[in-house]
Amino acid sequence: MSNPIMSIICGGNRPHSWSALIDALKVQQTPYEIVMVGPNPPVAWVPEYFHYHYSNVKPHQAQVAAAVLAQGRLLCYFNDDWVIKQPNALGQLVDEWDKCGDEEAIVAPHMSNSYPYLSFATDKAGPILPFGDVFSRENFLKRGGWDTRFIGIYASNDRAIEMQQKGKPVKICYNIVLDEVSVGSLWDELWQHDRSYLAWLWMEGYELTTPRERDFDVPLRPIRKVRRVASTPYDLTRDDLLYVHQGPKGKWRDSCKNCWELHKICDHVPPPAVDPDIATALAMA
C-alpha cells in the first residue's frame, strides 16, 4: 500500500506462518505495510505491501532494522506468528494512539493467551506489559530503538514500563484481540537473560544471581521510579545493522557484508568463545 500510516515491524524466521498474518490483515481501512526482517525468505505469494529483508541478527535487532526500513508514522511491533482478525483493527489502534495526544504514548491489542502484568504470582500486579505495541516511529528512532542489551524478548515491555513510570499513556485495547498461531517461543531459551535483565532494571532488591531467580513466581517487589541504568541505544547510523550485532546476541551470529548480500550463513566471522551473560555484559559496559 502506498503511503502507509502504520508499519508492522517483524523479526521473523517462520515463513510458513506469514500467510496467516497476511490473510488476517486483509480487512483493513488504514493504509499499512509489513516489514519482515529475518533469515528465511517467503515460501508463498506475498502482497506488494509485504517487504522482506534478509538478515540473521537477533530478533530485537531485526525489529529495530525493520523500523529503520519502515515508512509509516506509527510502528506496530509484531511477532511473525501473531494475527489480528477484527476488521479495521489497525485503524482502531491508530485512532486510540492519536487520542492519547502524546508522542511517547503506547497502545496495544490484547494478547488472548497472555497475562499483561509484570507479576504472574498475584492478580493484576505491577506495570502493564503490552504485546503488539503501537508507537511513534519518529520517537522510536530518536531513542535509538530498543536497549541493545535485550536479545529477543521484553525490550518493548521495558519501554512500556519506562513510559508508565514517567506518567505517559500506555493502554491495552481489550476489544482488539491478538492471537498466536504457532507453537513454541523464545521464552525458555531467553528468559534467564532478557526477563532477569528486565527484573534487575525495574525491581528493587532483584540481583543477577546464578542460577537466576524466577521473579515472576513470587510476590512483586517494589517497582523503581527510574531504570537502574540508562538504556544502551542502537547506533542507527551504521550501515551494518542487518548483519553485525550491537549488544549481546545469544546464539545468533555476525556476518560479513559479502555473505549477507548473498543471503547465506557466514563462516568468515568467528563467534566469540563465550557470549557474555547479562551480568558480565553489564560489568563490561
Average pLDDT for the chain: 90
**What CATH number does the domain containing 160 carry?**
3.90.550.10
Q: What is the pLDDT of residue 284?
A: 52
Distance CA 100, CA 48 (A): 31
* 215 assigned to some structural domain: yes
Looking at the predicted structure, is the pLDDT value of residue 204 above 90?
Answer: yes
Looking at the predicted structure, is the pLDDT value of residue 265 above 90?
Answer: no
Q: What is the pLDDT of residue 272?
A: 67
| Confidence category of residue 273, pLDDT binned at 50, 70, 90 | low
**112 compared with 226, residue with greater pLDDT:** 226
The C-alpha R_g of the chain, in whole angstroms, comes to: 18
**122 compared with 153, residue with greater pLDDT:** 153
Distance CA 28, CA 24 (A): 9
* 226 assigned to some structural domain: yes
* 228 assigned to some structural domain: yes
Q: What is the pLDDT of residue 104?
A: 98
Model's pTM, two decimal places? 0.94
pLDDT digits (tens, 9 = 90+) for 149-188: 999 999 999 999 999 999 999 999 999 999 988 766 777 7
Q: What is the pLDDT of residue 142?
A: 98
* 58 assigned to some structural domain: yes
Range of the domain at 136: 6-284
CB 154 within 8 A of CB 249: no
141-163: buried (b, 16+ CB within 10 Å) or exposed (e) per residue?
Answer: bebbbbbbbbbbbbbbbbbbbbb
* 1 assigned to some structural domain: no
First CA to last CA across the chain, in angstroms? 42
Q: How many domains does the chain have?
A: 1
CB 74 within 8 A of CB 135: yes
